[in-house]
Amino acid sequence: MRLCMPCTDRPGLLLDISQALVNWECNIVSVEMDKGALYLECHIAFEEQKPQIMKKLQQVNGIHEVIEVTDIPSKERANQLETVLTFIQDGVLAVNALSILKQCNKVAANILKLKETSLEQPLSAYLLDRLLIARTLREGGSFRNREVFLESIGSYCVVSTRPLRNERHEVVGAVVMIRDSRDVRGLVQKMMAATPVTFKDIAFISPVMEKIIEQARRYAVGSAVVLICGETGTGKELFARALHSASPRAGMTFLSVNCATIPEPLLESELFGYEERSFSNILRGGKPGLFELANGGTLFLDEIGEMSIQLQTKLLRVLQERRVRRLGSSHELTVDVRVVAATYRDLEELVKRQLFRKELYYRLNVVPPLCLPPLRNRVEDIPFLAEHFLKRLIANLNHSARGFSSEAIEKLQTYSWPGNVRELENVIEQAIHLMDGMEIQPEHIQIDKKTSLVKLDQNQFEPYQTLAEQLGEIERNILRETMKKFRSSREAGAVLGLSHTAVLRKLKKHGLRFGGY
């Protein structure tokens, strides 16, 4: 029986209540005062005695009313707290000043592998240290969103702590909130996910592209590493995203990194992450690498041929063992990531020159590579792609252009497109801004001022030259002619569809400098 009795607080009130209950053989369980009312919980021998007991208590001096309630305030608050702790998705636990575990919800128990018998028991020294509880109790400070490694789950967790203080401001305990880093990253990635790309988004009409897409669809359902080869601007990342969207991992994360644009030390930390203070005191809190962030999904390594031998060795180990270790850490994490790699370089030639690890090359060639043809080798796709880009761009630009003249289409088909599909899209967008009628004319297509590829019949090849050597000569001629017309690697890169760093590397490779010599 639980009763609420609004009353006047006076000395002896509880004694008079106890005397009123003596003859009824009531066992008083708890009594508490809350907001001008006395709450009483007691056990009675017979349920039919309840009305007489309540009438007797009503007669006690100072009792204004006797009301039966479902719970007394302290138990009601405890039930509400338990409901809240059960409902929230974060782990929450509380300890007292002696490190005795006083509160622990199911999420925290699951993360820390704690049993129900752990309540009212001292927390282990390992958890006190890892969860920053010992420091919170000792220093009286709070920690917010600190990433820590927990052996119990073999992964990292985000931990926040706060000290509990009494009226004298003394630390009497601590509250800890724990979040599994994988859950946090999953939520962030869902919020930041880009619009998925599918194979239907790849525009083409040529038989060669149809064959490659059929091949890519077959690869998508598997889990093997896929290597995509092709010149800059042929759509390697587009294919990688379509592979991900058509795979069983479509609902998970897709991440990409260009190995050619990030300096080697930074690329290593980007891929594998780093532990707190691995480099300096400036880098605090640590950082997960792309393999961790893409766990369960797909990681696209663009321009993998530019990766150093040292990083290739680490990458090979991850692909073989499916485990990754942050820089400066002694902990290894199990990861399930499908790798899609891309390159414009001849990896077999790099292996011969000992610039690419043979073992990694074989690992990347588990299935035959997807070799994307340059735009000049699928001329029939050029008008189709031009119309495709025109429709999409005029919708975004609110333009009234209707199409291309036959002379404009002919001009597009006779150009060599060193920047491939990416360059074609840029040229179409530029033409829309230059046109003054309803139809794009040849004069609106600004490719005369751009550097065209040297025609193949202008290159005299020796019969003993390999394909790689012949392509190298073509690349050298392209670069030499381009450098004669532009004053910086950025300008040349914009025309060729390359980053300025890629242009500089190619110039060094062929022994060229600006001016073409």
* Distance linking the first and last C-alpha atoms of the chain: 99
**Phi, psi of 439, deg, nearest 5:** -130, 140
Residue 494, both tokens? 């914009």
Query: Residue 414 is which amino acid?
Result: T
The residue out of 131, 147, 181 marking a domain boundary is: 181
- Token pair 């490190």 is found at 99
Tell me which residues of the chain have a pLDDT lower than 50: 280-283, 450-458, 515-517
Residue 83, in any domain of the structure: no
**Phi, psi of 435, deg, nearest 5:** -70, 150
Residues 220 and 364 in one domain: yes
Q: 243-270 burial, b if ≥16 CB within 10 A, otherwise e? A: bbbbbebeebbbbbbbbbebeeeebbbb
CA 20 – CA 12 distance, rounded (Å):
12
**DSSP string for residues in 263-302:** -HHHHHHHHHEE-TTSS-TTS-S-EE-HHHHTTTSEEEEE
Closest CA to 497 of 515, 472, 478: 478
Number of domains in the chain: 5
Residue 451, in any domain of the structure: no
CATH number at residue 112: 3.30.450.20
Q: Model-level pTM?
A: 0.66
Closest CA to 4 of 91, 76, 96: 76
Residues 275 and 422 in one domain: no
CA 15 – CA 417 distance, rounded (Å):
98
Beta-carbon count within 10 A of 463 CB? 4
Residues 339 and 267 in one domain: yes
Domain holding 313, by residue range, is: 193-371
Residues 234 and 267 in one domain: yes
How buried is residue 306: exposed, middle or buried, by Cβ count under 10 Å (0-12/13-18/19+)?
buried
The residue out of 399, 422, 444 marking a domain boundary is: 444
CATH number at residue 316: 3.40.50.300
Closest CA to 237 of 500, 421, 383: 421
Residue 235, in any domain of the structure: yes
Residues 487 and 358 in one domain: no
pLDDT at 455: 45
CATH number at residue 61: 3.30.70.260
Residue 306, in any domain of the structure: yes
CA 478 – CA 452 distance, rounded (Å):
8
pLDDT at 154: 78
User: Which helix (H) or strand (E) segment is 41 a member of?
Assistant: strand 37-43
Residues 277 and 132 in one domain: no
Residue 263, in any domain of the structure: yes
Residues 358 and 389 in one domain: no
Look up residue 100 and give its DSSP letter: B
Residues 239 and 353 in one domain: yes
Look up residue 4 and give its DSSP letter: E
Beta-carbon count within 10 A of 169 CB? 9
Query: Residue 11 is which amino acid?
Result: P
Residue 439, in any domain of the structure: yes
pLDDT at 486: 67
The residue out of 181, 211, 238 marking a domain boundary is: 181
Helical ranges in 414-466 per DSSP H? 420-434
